[in-house]
Structures are given as structure tokens and as C-alpha cells.
Amino acid sequence: MPVLYGIAAATVTATASFLLTAVLAALLRAPALRLAVVDRRRRRPVPLLGGVAVVLVTAVVAWAGDRAGVVPLGPAAGRLLAAATVVGALGLAADVWRLRRRWLLAGTAVAAACVVPYGETGPVAGALAVGWVALVTGAFRGLDHADGVAGTVGVVTAFGVGACAAVELMDGPAVLLLVLAAALAGFLLHNWHPARIALGACGSLFTGFLLTGAAVLARSGYGPVGGAGVLCALTAVPVADAVLVLLSRRLAGRPLSRGGPDHLAHRLRRLGLTAQGVVVVLGGAALCAVVVGVLAHTGRVGGQAALWVAGGAAAGVLGLLRVRVYGPARLRRGAGVRAPVRRAGRGARAWAVVRRPRTAMRRPRTVVRRARAGVSQAPRGATGAAGGASFRAAIFPVRQATSTENVQVGAPLRVRNG
């Protein structure tokens, strides 16, 4: 009878979380557009307050269930929910005021330090767990660049980590993750391609912190090596995305904090997959890795199974590194590229230096810095057939047959491209 009561209570709680998130996310779309809290990195602006719905519904439903005695959380899950809510509020501030990444990382690390059970992990392993929670929480934010990816991976990971917590008889974290999974499923009704609302930093940081914190609680009584393997298997997709982005930006000489279309979803789209196909591929990869992590946690498979997950993730990262996502490098201010310009007539060349404009609003200029002997150019302000022919000869390296284009001048010419 208690088992049936628990199943019924969990079902009612999950259903309420699903429906409330679906309704609240739809209601928050209009205020987000009115307040211009949108993601402008996509082809069309997408509102970012979907994470507010996930945070509010998860916190309220879990708190109400605990107060009513239907689904008690316990002290550990209560601290985890409170810390995750603070991280979600920090993410909301980042959505509205564009906080720097280092402030988000520092705030997440402080919140993680309040959750890690140092009595069971020890000080060294506890400090490593704090760093891991902070970094992987930030990695979950990178999954929100594509429609449906963050929600799908979050639902799959929540079920996996919840299963690990249930095996350890941690009812509070297990129920909390069930509520989170239901809330993310309700959010996905509006985030499937084409997305009408996105998680934003608020929802993605809240989801990542709740998942990683619960995973650390579930693995707190195990050895550090085996625990690290299981944790990486449970969060293989966000970890692989973060490693891929850091490696590609490092190899391309780009700043690590500078955004770009270099995440897993972007590269899969460049390979020809549709938006729905990207969700299926990344969701399937997350499911496979999570299943291995759960089996390794329960002892059904050996610890070397996590190495297979790490090897598969490494192979995927190395393969996707070959997908070109960055455009040509921009010239530095004042730097130029010398290009030969062929004049009409005898085939002599002049060297032109194409300079980068100082501002984006100025018209580009082609400045002839050095001219060899016999270059046909017209003086500044020249009009008529000679000026027009000289302009064509300087810009277009095509031999001209007319004799009017061979006007000899000794001074260099500055030509303005119309």
C-alpha cells in the first residue's frame, strides 16, 4: 500500500508540474518580447523567459509537496533546491543585464560549495566536486543554442540521475528530479522547432545545477575514480559540447569567452541534419551515455564502461572539429593585404593595399600605396573616359584594347569603391 501511495503521489506531482510549466511558459512569452529579453544570436529573436517557468514550477511544486507531506524532500534535497533557485536567479540577471561569465561561474561555485557533502567526500574530493558542478552547470547553458536540445538532454539526464538517487534510497532528490523532468517536458511543448521560447541562462543554469548537484549527492559514498567516471557518463553530452567549443576556439585563436556557432548542434546542422534530427541525435547520445552511467552506478557493468563512453565522446569531438564553422579571419585595424592589379597594355602590375574600414558604416576604400613604373592611373577627381577607364583598369584586372585607358601619371591614386 505505501508503494502504491508513493507512485500515485509522484504521478500527480509530475502531472501538475508538466501542465503548470506548459501554461506558464506560454504566458511568459509576451512579457519577454515586450521587455526585449530575447536571444538575438539566432536567426529570429526568441524570448528567454522559459527558464523562469521551469524554475518557478519546480520550486513551488516540490515545496508544496514537501509541506503537504505528499513527497517529502529531506534536508539534502531542500538545500539543493534552494541553491539551484539562487543559481537560476543569477541566470535571470544574466538574461536581463548580460552579466559576465566569470560572475556566473563564481556564483555557481559558491552555491555548489553549500551543497557538496564534505563529510562523505572529504575536503579534496569535495573541492573537486565543487569545480565539476560549476563547470558542467555552465556547459548546460551551451545546449540552449538550438531548439529542443537543452530540454531533451535535461529530461534524459534527470531520469538517469533520479534512478541513481532512487537506488541509494534518496527519495528527496529522486522526487525533485522527477518534478524537474516533468517541468522540462512541459517546456518542450513550446521549445520544439521552431521554438517560441527558450530556457535562457535562468533555466539552463538551474537545470544543470540541479542535475549535477543531485549526481554528486548520489555518488558521495563511492571512490573518487569510479565516481568521476559515472558522473562524466551521466553528463556526457554537455561535457562533450564544452570540450568541443574550448578546443575549437583555442585552435582557431579565438577568445574562449567569445560566442559563435561552434557547438554540437551547430556543427551537426552544417553536416546536413535538420533541427529535429539534431535533437534526436543528441538525445539518443545522452540516453546511451546515461544508461551506461546508471548501470555502472548499480554495479551491473564494470567501471571500464565509462571509458567506452569517454572514448565515444572523444571520437565525436575530434570528428566534429573538422567541420568548418568560422568564417575568414578579419584584418586588424590598419593592416592590409597586398594584391596585384594588372594594368591594361603591356601587362605591368601595380601593388594595391586593401585596407579594412575603421567603422562598419564607412564605405570600403582601395588605396594604391606603391605603383611600379608604367602604371596607368588617373589623378584624383578625373572625369570622363580617361578617369572611368583608369578606374576599370585598377579594379578589374582585364586587358583593355582602347588607347584612351593608357593615361600615364606619376602620382599614386586613391580610388574609392562605390
* Domain extent listing, the chain: 2-320, 336-416
Question: In the predicted model, what is the mean pLDDT of the chain?
Answer: 82
CB atoms within 10 A of CB 157: 32
Query: In terms of pLDDT, which residue wins out, 122 or 380?
Result: 122
Statement: residue 376 has pLDDT above 60:
no
What would the pLDDT profile of 57-76 be if each residue is shown by its tens digit? 999 999 998 888 888 888 99
pLDDT recorded at residue 2: 61
| CA separation for the pair 14, 360 (Å, rounded) | 52
Percent of the residues in the chain that have a pLDDT greater than 70, as a whole number:
77
- What is the band of 154 on the pLDDT scale with cuts at 50, 70, 90? very high
Statement: residue 259 has pLDDT above 90:
no
- What is the band of 368 on the pLDDT scale with cuts at 50, 70, 90? very low
What angle (nearest 5°) sits at the alpha carbon of residue 170, between those of residues 164 and 171?
110
Q: Of the given ranges (88-92, 282-286, 301-305, 314-318), which has the lowest mean pLDDT?
A: 301-305
Q: What residues have CB less than 8 Å from 370, skipping those under 6 apart?
A: 350, 351, 412
Q: What is the mean pLDDT of residues 108-130?
A: 93
Q: What is the mean pLDDT of residues 274-291?
A: 96
| CA separation for the pair 356, 360 (Å, rounded) | 9
Statement: residue 377 has pLDDT above 70:
no
Q: What is the mean pLDDT of residues 409-416?
A: 44
pLDDT recorded at residue 156: 97
CB atoms within 10 A of CB 87: 29
pLDDT recorded at residue 7: 76
Q: What residues have CB less than 8 Å from 129, skipping those under 6 apart?
A: 112, 116, 121, 216
Statement: residue 265 has pLDDT above 50:
yes
What angle (nearest 5°) sits at the alpha carbon of residue 314, between those of residues 313 and 318?
120
pTM above 0.75, yes or no: yes
